[in-house]
Amino acid sequence: EGKAPSESLKNLMGQCRARIAAPATEVAAQRVALQRTDGSAFFGHVITTAIDIDGHPGVIGFIQDVTDQVLMEKEREQISAQAQQAQKMEAIGTLAGGIAHDFNNLLMGIQGNISLIMLNKAPGHRDVPHLKNIEKAVVRGSELTRQVLGFARGGKYEVRATDCNHLIERVVALFGRSRKEMTIRKTLQTPLWSVEADQGQLEQIMLNLLVNAWEAMPGGGEIVLETTNVTVEENTPGRPPDATLGRYVCITVTDTGIGMDAQTQARIFEPFFTTKKTGSATGLGLSSVFGIVQNHHGFLTVRSGKGRGTTFRVFLPAAAPAPARGAAAPVSTNGRERPATLLLVEDEEMVAAIAEQMLTRLGHKVFLAGSGGEAVAIYREQREKIDLIILDMIMPGMSGAETFEQLKTIAPEVKVLLSSGYSLNGQAAGILNRGCRGFIQKPFTIDQLSQKIREILFSPAAPPA
C-alpha cells in the first residue's frame, strides 16, 4: 500500500517464488495496491496457498477487490483524526478563555488605578506621560487577550450582517500601504451573500492571513484573494463531520511563498506554535483565526507544500441581510452624569474595590455585593433606591445569568449592565437578549464606564445594547 502498482505486484510475485522454493514458508494474507488491465489502480486482498502439481511445488493465489473497503477505512480514519483535533482545540480554547478572563481582571485592576490617579493630575503634570504609557501597555495587553478570546470557544463580540467584499477591500487597503514589495490580486464575486459575523474579528482573520502570507514571501510575491458563494455538501473537500450543510461564503487567500511541510501543517492552528524566531511572534495568529472561524460556525482548510505556496480557505455560513436598525439616540458627553444609586456585583475583591472607587468618583452612591445571592438580597431590600445594577457574568455559586433571572423576578424592568473579562459570547449575548441593557468588557476606563451608565440611565428611550 502506498507503492506504485507495478512495484507492489513485483513484491507479491517475489513472495510467491519464495514460497515455491520453500513451501513451508508462511505468507500472510495481505492487502496490495495492484493495477487492472485497463491501467486503473485498485486494492486487492491477496491469499496464497502452497500446492503440489504432479510433484512440482506451486502457489495458487486468490485476489479480492477491496478498494471500496480501503477507501471507507481511510475516510473513517480522516474523520476520527478531525474529531480528535477538534476536541483538542476545544479543550485548549476553553483553557485559553479562562486564562484571558483572569488576565483581563488583572488588567482591570491596573487600568482602574490609572484612571483614578489621572483624575488627580493636571494635563501638564510630569507624571501624566508615564501614566499614559502604562495605559498603552494595558491596551496592548487587552488586545492580546482579545486574540486569545477570539481563539477561545464562544468568543464573538458584536454580530451583524456583514459584506465580506467590503470588509476585504478595507483590510487590503490598510495592509497594502506599507507592503509595496508584493502584489495583491482580488477576485471578488458579486453579488456575494452576507454573513452574520463580528466585523472586528473578521478583520482580524483577514489581517492574520495576510500577514502570514507576507511572512512566507520574504523576497516578495503575489497574494490572491477570492470570494465565492458555495453550497457545502457531504462530499465537499475538507468539510468537518459536524459542519452544517448549506450555503457558505468562501474566502480564499493564496500566496506564492515558501509553503509548509505536512508536520508544520498539522500544528499551525495550535496556540503559541510558530516557525519564526523566538520573540518575533506570539504564535496566536492562525490559532485565533481557527477559533474565530469555529465560533462563527464555519470551518477552514489549508493546502500547502514546500516551495509551492499556501492556500487557506475560510468557509462562513451565509445569512440573509439583517433588517435595518434605526439610529441610536445621541448621548451627551458634556459634563458629568447626574448622580445615581448603583448596585455593583463583583466577586473579585480587587476589581470590586477599583470599580467602587471609580463609580464614587463619578458621583454615584454604590451598594456592593460580592455574590449573586447577596446582590438579590440587597436589591430586594433597596429596590426603590437602586437605579442600575452592574453585574459580573462569571461568579462562583450563583452565576451572572442566574442572578439576572432572580433580579427580574423582583422587578421585570430592572436595569442591568453586564460586565465580564470574557467577550460578548453566547452566554452574555443570551442575557442581553433577555432584557439586559448593555455590556462592558474588562478592562475598562472610567470614561468608558461613565459613557455606558449615561447610555442606559440618561438617554431618551435607551434600548438594550
Residue ranges of the domains in the chain? 5-65, 77-151, 161-319, 341-457
Nearest to 372 by CA among 342, 344, 350: 344
How high is the pLDDT of residue 333?
Answer: 39
Measured CA angle at 284 (ends 149, 158), to 5 deg: 30
H helix or E strand, kind and range, residue 173: helix 164-176
421 neighbors 96 (Cβ within 8 angstroms):
no
5-65 to CATH, choices 3.20.20.70, 3.40.50.300, 3.30.450.20, 3.30.365.10: 3.30.450.20
pLDDT tens sequence across 139-155 = 888 777 766 665 554 45
Report the distance separating Cα 23 and Cα 212, nearest Å.
60
Q: Provide the pLDDT confidence category of residue 189 given band limits of 50, 70 and 90.
A: very high
Extract the C-alpha cell encoding 92.
485548549
How high is the pLDDT of residue 5?
Answer: 45
213 neighbors 310 (Cβ within 8 angstroms):
yes
Report the distance separating Cα 10 and Cα 200, nearest Å.
59
Grouping H, G, I as helix, E, B as strand and the rest as coil, residue 347 is coil
DSSP 62: E
Grouping H, G, I as helix, E, B as strand and the rest as coil, residue 174 is helix
Task: Please return the burial class of 357, using the count of CB atoms within 10 Å of its CB with bins 0-12, 13-18 and 19+.
Answer: middle
Indicate the pTM of the whole model: 0.50
In the predicted model, is pLDDT for residue 36 greater than 60? Answer: yes
Mean pLDDT taken over the chain: 80
Least confident of 157-161, 227-231, 350-354: 157-161
H helix or E strand, kind and range, residue 214: helix 199-215
pLDDT tens sequence across 114-125 = 988 988 888 889
Phi-psi region of 259 (alpha: psi -120 to 50; beta: other; left: phi over 0): left
Higher pLDDT, 463 or 10: 10
In the predicted model, is pLDDT for residue 137 greater than 70? Answer: yes
pLDDT tens sequence across 288-336 = 788 888 888 899 999 998 889 999 999 999 987 544 444 444 444 344 4
CATH code, 161-319: 3.30.565.10
CA distances from 160 to 131, 165, 272, 296, 350 (A): 36, 15, 30, 12, 35
Least confident of 287-296, 345-354, 374-383: 287-296
CATH code, 77-151: 1.10.287
Cβ neighbours of residue 189 closer than 8 Å, sequence gap 6 or more: 165, 226, 227, 228, 229
Grouping H, G, I as helix, E, B as strand and the rest as coil, residue 119 is helix
Q: Regarding beta strands 221-232 and 438-441, do their DSSP bridges make them parallel or antiparallel, or are they unpaired?
A: unpaired
Report the distance separating Cα 164 and Cα 317, nearest Å.
12
DSSP 180: T
Grouping H, G, I as helix, E, B as strand and the rest as coil, residue 166 is helix
How high is the pLDDT of residue 218?
Answer: 84
At the fourth CATH level, which superfamily is domain 341-457? Response regulator (3.40.50.2300)
Same fold, 161-319 and 341-457: no
